[in-house]
Amino acid sequence: MSTATLSPTAPTITIEADPKISLRGHIRHTGALIRRNLLWIKQDPESMMDAVLMPVIFTLLFVYVFGGSIGQALGGGQSAYVQYVIPGMVAMMSMNIAQGVGTGFNEDFNKGIMDRFRSLPIGRGSVLVAKISVELVRLLVAVTIQMVVALLVGFDINGHWLGLLAAVGLTALFGSAIMWIFLVLGVTMKNAQSVQAMGFLVMMPLQFGSSIFAPTNSMPGWLESFTKYNPMSGLADASRGLMTGGPIAHGLTVTLAWTIGLTLAMAPVAIRKFTRKA
Amino acid sequence: MTRTDKNPESGRPVAVSVRGLVKHFGETKALDGVDLDVHEGTVLGVLGPNGAGKTTLVRCLSTLITPDAGQAVVAGYDVVRQPRQLRRVIGLTGQYASVDEKLSGRENLYLIGRLLDLSRKEARSRADALLERFSLTDAATRPARTYSGGMRRRLDLAASMIGRPHVLYLDEPTTGLDPRTRNEVWAEVTHMVREGVTVLLTTQYMEEAEQLASELTVIDRGRVIANGGIDELKAKVGGRTLRIRPADPLQLHPLAQALEQHRPGGPVPAVPTESGEVLVPIVSDDQLTAVVAEVTARGVTIGSISVELPSLDEVFLSLTGEKASAPQQAAPELEEVAV
């Protein structure tokens, strides 16, 4: 049926291996993409609502609704509960903020801009790293607000400022590990709503089945064992230790183990899914 | 645009060369051994119905997906083995405008410039030049989501042009646009081709192919069913239809009869329709002229007159003897849209 003849074989070409992208190139690309994600926040300040309001609402709710009675069990009162729950809240931010990374990423894929990025000569990891960096900025904003509210409701840092910094660092570290999971969800799930629903399903048991809000020793045995190795407990215990001068060894070990494990397991999956998504 | 612009340019070097390209999605053979060439500085139209494999072809050629077999070389780079070098020399404008809706037009272009390793200064000036060139300067600082469909498509084209691509892929660039916006896009594409860009254009519309392309490859179900110069193929598929509506409906039948008896310009029948028009199949420009002369010579006042290109269906009918494969099953959705 063909009316024009094509040469039978493709022209022979000399194949030079693709040059690697330089470190400076990676930094430039990631920087440009970080700028893009920051401009999003500027365009749409409401996207910061969760980071700004969640710490406020959660703190007021838990301190004033449950604080009195749980505080009694702790052998103090509401003020004892403030000392207990605030470090846990800082830990909790890691997960709540990380969730946003999945929905934003999913929207990108559904909008076609991802095709544009993937047809450009950039390292495909830059898009992921930029996204994670900006979410870490959001996390820091959330934690800062959390601490301001904490001091207002009477949290006593008692000189553990370095401990606070370490706790924030640990939260950010764990948060970045969690983000890889949400990146995978973001690439795999059909739409932003399902990412959110799935995220909720994962987060609820991890957050409430932990030592974030209440001590675990009154929980039934099976739940207590679960909380012992639940990374959210680990992170909450570690930041509690760091911010109030208590024991940190177990919590720190559990948190670091999860952080390393999750990153090693999920980062390659996220990158592969992202690269292959077609 | 003159006809000489559009002659097949088979003498020119080849910018895109595809041989035996195969891509399967499970059971669906989206590409089933496609061969085609695009010559430097020309537009190749890839014409086919929904689900024919057009988008899959473009996605393979822009390294978004890896073909299962076959070879494709773009501007001297192999799509599988040299993806990064290849991405430097291509531009891609897809069916769905791929710009960041939350960013302004200028920020969108600046971002792409930086990702293409332009310095901050270069990226800024390139963005401004392209905004100017695509008449978007007034809207430069507004978020892209406030743009009209045509502006968005122009921004998309501008984004594809930042890296001064050697080869530009336009995947159904006017699908879903109103006629005026479509004309705007066509004008931009013509402009870019004059600047020397090589274009691979996929489309479902014969009219679009005829407007923009000098050569045409017709594909169906992942296979090439015809290729060649556009005039060659047009001649083959039977060309155009002239529709004349006499201002006075009473003249319809006498006019049809007269054209039928005299057959000016050649042995082609004229058919009156119920909607008050006479249809005359046109095989050559001479015949067209002769028919119009005949109509005027009879003193018939023309109410409306138009020349129509064959529809995609008619092209397929004459090329394959069957109707364009309708988007059967749910497969086309799967093939054409990113999965």
Percentage of chain B lying above the pLDDT 70 cut = 85
Mean pLDDT of chain B: 84
To the nearest whole Å, the CA of B65 is away from the closest chain A CA by 6
B169 with B288, same domain: the answer is no
To the nearest whole Å, the CA of A262 is away from the closest chain B CA by 27
Lowest mean per-residue pLDDT among A50-54, A156-160, B151-155: A50-54
pLDDT greater than 70 at residue B7 = no
- B115/A29 touch (CB, cutoff 8 Å), yes or no: yes
pLDDT attached to residue A101: 83
Give the closest residue to A270 by CA, choosing from A137, A109, A32, A138: A109
pLDDT greater than 60 at residue A272 = yes
B251 with B224, same domain: the answer is no
Domain edge (last residue) among B236, B268, B299: B236
Q: Which residues of B fall within a CB distance of 8 Å from A274?
A: none
Q: Which residues pair with B271 in a beta bridge?
A: B279
Model confidence over B38-62: pLDDT tens digits?
A: 999 999 999 988 888 999 999 999 9
Confidence of residue A36 (pLDDT cuts 50, 70, 90): very high
Tokens read off for A135: 């979410």
How far is the C-alpha of A84 from the C-alpha of B286, rounded, in Å? 93
How far is the C-alpha of A16 from the C-alpha of A68, rounded, in Å? 71
Lowest mean per-residue pLDDT among A8-12, B157-161, B173-177: A8-12
Determine, yes or no, domain membership for B100. Answer: no
Q: Which residues of B fall within a CB distance of 8 Å from A117?
A: 115
Determine, yes or no, domain membership for B232. Answer: yes
Yes or no: say if B37 and B19 are a contact pair by the CB < 8 Å rule: no
Yes or no: say if A204 and A179 are a contact pair by the CB < 8 Å rule: no
First to last CA, chain B: 39
pLDDT attached to residue A82: 93
Taking one residue from A and the other from B, the number of pairs with CB-CB distance under 8 angstroms is 133
Stretch B54-83: mean pLDDT: 93
B185 with B256, same domain: the answer is no
- B17/A28 touch (CB, cutoff 8 Å), yes or no: no
Element (H, E) at B271: strand B271-272
- A11/B17 touch (CB, cutoff 8 Å), yes or no: yes
For chain A, give every domain's residue range.
26-37+47-276
Give the closest residue to A255 by CA, choosing from A241, A239, A240, A234: A234
> Higher-confidence residue: B117 or A110?
B117
Stretch A251-272: mean pLDDT: 93
Mean pLDDT of chain A: 87
pLDDT greater than 90 at residue B79 = yes
Determine, yes or no, domain membership for B80. Answer: yes
Q: In this complex, which of A3, A29, A40 lies closest to B102 when CB atoms are compared?
A: A40
Confidence of residue A2 (pLDDT cuts 50, 70, 90): very low
Yes or no: say if B329 and B30 are a contact pair by the CB < 8 Å rule: no
To the nearest whole Å, the CA of B187 is away from the closest chain A CA by 23
**Complex ipTM, two decimals?**
0.81
Confidence of residue A13 (pLDDT cuts 50, 70, 90): low
Nearest-CA residue of chain A relative to B14? A11
Half-sphere exposure of B325 (CA within 13 A, CB side): 19
Query: Please, where are the H alpha helices in A153-230?
Result: 161-188, 192-208, 221-229
Q: Give yes or no for B176 touching A (CB within 8 A).
A: no
B12 with B84, same domain: the answer is yes
Stretch A70-78: mean pLDDT: 86
How far is the C-alpha of B166 from the C-alpha of B198, rounded, in Å? 6
Stretch A58-76: mean pLDDT: 89
One-letter identity of residue B196: G
Give the closest residue to B171 by CA, choosing from B153, B155, B188: B153
pLDDT greater than 80 at residue B112 = yes
Q: Which residues from A are below 8 Å from B when comparing CB atoms?
A: 1-4, 6-7, 9-11, 13, 15-19, 21, 25, 28-29, 31-33, 35-36, 39-40, 43-44, 109, 111-122, 277-278
Confidence of residue B306 (pLDDT cuts 50, 70, 90): confident
How far is the C-alpha of A216 from the C-alpha of A88, rounded, in Å? 13
pLDDT attached to residue B9: 56
pLDDT attached to residue B70: 94
Confidence of residue A202 (pLDDT cuts 50, 70, 90): confident
Nearest-CA residue of chain A relative to B119? A28
pLDDT greater than 50 at residue B324 = yes
Stretch B255-272: mean pLDDT: 75
How far is the C-alpha of A118 from the C-alpha of A224, rounded, in Å? 46
- Which residues 77-106 in chain B show a CB within 8 A of chain A? 77-78, 81-85, 87-88, 90, 92, 94, 96-103
Confidence of residue B165 (pLDDT cuts 50, 70, 90): very high
Q: Which residues contact A14 (CB under 8 A, 6 or more apart)?
A: none
B181 with B285, same domain: the answer is no
Model confidence over A87-120: pLDDT tens digits?
A: 999 999 888 888 888 887 888 877 778 888 988 9
pLDDT greater than 70 at residue B123 = yes
Model confidence over A150-199: pLDDT tens digits?
A: 999 999 988 899 999 999 999 999 999 999 988 888 888 888 888 888 88
- Give the domain range for residue B249: 240-308
pLDDT greater than 60 at residue B135 = yes
Evaluated on CA atoms A104, A109, A111, A116, the torsion sign reads positive
Stretch B294-321: mean pLDDT: 79
B79 with B171, same domain: the answer is yes
Give the closest residue to B73 by CA, choosing from A117, A15, A277: A15
pLDDT attached to residue A4: 52
- B102/A43 touch (CB, cutoff 8 Å), yes or no: yes
Yes or no: say if A56 and A143 are a contact pair by the CB < 8 Å rule: no
pLDDT greater than 60 at residue B284 = yes
Q: In this complex, which of A1, A39, A119 lies closest to B107 when CB atoms are compared?
A: A39
Percentage of chain B lying above the pLDDT 90 cut = 45
Stretch B82-102: mean pLDDT: 87
Determine, yes or no, domain membership for B16. Answer: yes
Cβ neighbours, 10 Å, residue B105: 29
pLDDT attached to residue B334: 37
pLDDT greater than 90 at residue B237 = no
Cβ neighbours, 10 Å, residue B37: 23
Buried b (16+ CB within 10 A) or exposed e, A88-117: bbbbbbbbbbbbbbbbbbbbbbebbbbbbb
To the nearest whole Å, the CA of B326 is away from the closest chain A CA by 21
Stretch B193-209: mean pLDDT: 91
Lowest mean per-residue pLDDT among A69-78, B77-86, B142-151: A69-78
How far is the C-alpha of B270 from the C-alpha of B292, rounded, in Å? 13
To the nearest whole Å, the CA of A190 is away from the closest chain B CA by 9
Q: What is the CATH number of the domain that holds B210?
A: 3.40.50.300
Percentage of chain A lying above the pLDDT 70 cut = 94
pLDDT attached to residue B169: 95
Q: What is the CATH number of the domain that holds B250?
A: 3.30.70.100
pLDDT greater than 60 at residue B275 = yes
How far is the C-alpha of A199 from the C-alpha of A53, rounded, in Å? 19
Determine, yes or no, domain membership for B223. Answer: yes
Positions of E strands within B173-262 = 198-203, 215-220, 223-229, 240-246
Q: In this complex, which of A18, A32, A116 lies closest to B92 when CB atoms are compared?
A: A116
Q: In this complex, which of B63, B96, B97 lies closest to A119 when CB atoms are compared?
A: B63
Model confidence over A237-248: pLDDT tens digits?
A: 999 999 998 899
Q: In this complex, which of A21, A119, A122 lies closest to B64 when CB atoms are compared?
A: A119
- B64/A278 touch (CB, cutoff 8 Å), yes or no: yes
B178 with B298, same domain: the answer is no
pLDDT attached to residue A170: 95
Q: In this complex, which of A10, A32, A112 lies closest to B17 when CB atoms are compared?
A: A10
What is the three-class DSSP state of B91?
A: strand
Yes or no: say if B241 and B280 are a contact pair by the CB < 8 Å rule: yes
Q: Which residues of A fall within a CB distance of 8 Å from B19?
A: 6, 9-10
- A11/B94 touch (CB, cutoff 8 Å), yes or no: no
Cβ neighbours, 10 Å, residue B306: 11
How far is the C-alpha of A33 from the C-alpha of A40, rounded, in Å? 11
Q: In this complex, which of A36, A39, A120 lies closest to B87 when CB atoms are compared?
A: A120
Range among B154-168, B217-231, B242-256 rated most confident: B154-168
pLDDT greater than 50 at residue A40 = yes
